[in-house]
Amino acid sequence: MTDSPATFLQWGVLQISLPNLIVLIVMVILFALAVTVPFPHSADAAPGHGGSDDLAR
Amino acid sequence: MTSHASPAGPSDGGSWTVSLRDRLTRTVPKGQLLPDRQPAYVKSWIYVFGVACLAALIYVVVSGLVLSIGGAAWWHESSVGHFVNSTHLWSVELFFMFMVVHLWGKFFMAAWRGRRALTWITGAVCFIGSIGAAFTGYLSQTNFDSQWISTQAKDGLNSVGIGGTFNVLNTGQMLLWHVMLLPLLVGVLVVLHVILVRRHGVVPPFDAIPPGGTGDVAGSAPVAATAVGTGNGSAAPTNVGQHDDVPVLEPSMLGRSS
């Protein structure tokens, strides 16, 4: 498997191997998830009520 | 050893230890180097990728040190060497993946705001240096793949006039760049980058409100926002993170003491 050449996709002057395209798409998905998925709050934090508890630990 | 309590300021010349200590204290104030508390908006997955990037880099260095024990050809003849070499490769893959997501996040946050240009620059140069380190790694595989890559790379480097100095056909030179010079460059830049992050703090959200102010803080002095004072009924701008906490700026969370 490692000795066989990768499948290449071509779109005009753009050419990319399928593994590289998959990695690129995974990175974009990861970025989208990192921006949209809420980060879990710690149990002892009381956000939005002032005081030092609003600082992330 | 007796400790004298006399305050040592910059004027107390003559002692390089005092000068160095003052310099270090000014660079990263006490308590800022390894803080256990962060502004509320740091509670975002986007920051996890910066830390994951550091973790991957640590493993890259450690696995590289192990590989250097067996030598560049170790992985051809030993299953253990092959395993360590594979983990070295995949930790580099993860390192780059995490770094790119971190880079995207910082770009859309305009993380160079508030005198953080040098933080951004060190990160960007570190990225470029990492690419060089990765490419010289490909040249150090001691197989037909590295031969092919080097013959392709030499044309490009010759075309810009550096092929005579940086000779990709010289395996010994490329190996030393890969295991010494470029890791040193990346390591120094990463340390500087982290120190600058600790010094200036994480860039506040676009809509963070400084104490007593209502304007945007873009381009302002380094400040870090916290949700302190959110219960006072003041206007609550939307956080760019994933929290409902109001990012009101708090002077006590400044990246430096003054």
Residue at token pair 């490329």: B174
State how far residue A13 is from chain B, nearest Cα, in angstroms: 19
pLDDT at B67: 96
Check CB contact of A7 with chain B, cutoff 8 Å: no
Residue of A nearest to B245 (CA): A48
Model confidence pLDDT, tens digit, residues A25-55: 999 999 999 999 998 876 655 554 443 444 4
- Cβ contact A54–B46 (<8 Å): no
Q: How far is B135 from chain A (nearest CA, A)?
A: 16
pLDDT by residue, tens only, chain B of 258 residues = 444 544 545 556 679 998 988 888 888 877 777 777 778 888 889 889 999 999 999 999 999 999 999 999 999 999 999 999 999 999 999 999 999 999 999 999 999 998 899 999 999 999 999 999 999 999 999 999 999 999 999 999 999 999 999 999 999 999 999 999 999 999 999 999 999 988 888 888 888 766 655 544 444 444 444 433 333 333 333 333 333 444 445 544 444 443
Quick one: pLDDT at residue B85?
96
Whole-model pTM? 0.75
Least CA distance to A29: which residue of chain B? B101
Compute the count of residue pairs across chains A and B with CB atoms less than 8 Å apart.
82
Interface of B with A (CB under 8 A): 36-40, 42-46, 48-49, 93, 97, 100-101, 104-105, 226-232, 241-246, 253
* Smallest Cα distance from A5 to chain B, Å: 12
Cα R_g (chain B), whole angstroms: 23
> Facing residues of B225 across strands?
B249
Chain B residues with CB under 8 Å of A44 CB are: none
- Reported ipTM: the value is 0.71
Residue B40 is nearest to which of A23, A36, A54, comparing CB atoms? A54
Residues of B in Cβ contact (< 8 Å) with A34? 44-46, 48-49, 101, 105
Taking contacts as CB-CB distances below 8 angstroms, the residues of chain B near A6 are: none
Mutation for testing the B interface, residue in A26, A31, A37, A53 having most B CBs under 10 Å: A31
Q: Note whether A37 contacts B: Cβ–Cβ < 8 A.
A: yes
pLDDT at position B208 is 75
Residue of A26, A36, A56 with shortest CB distance to B43: A56
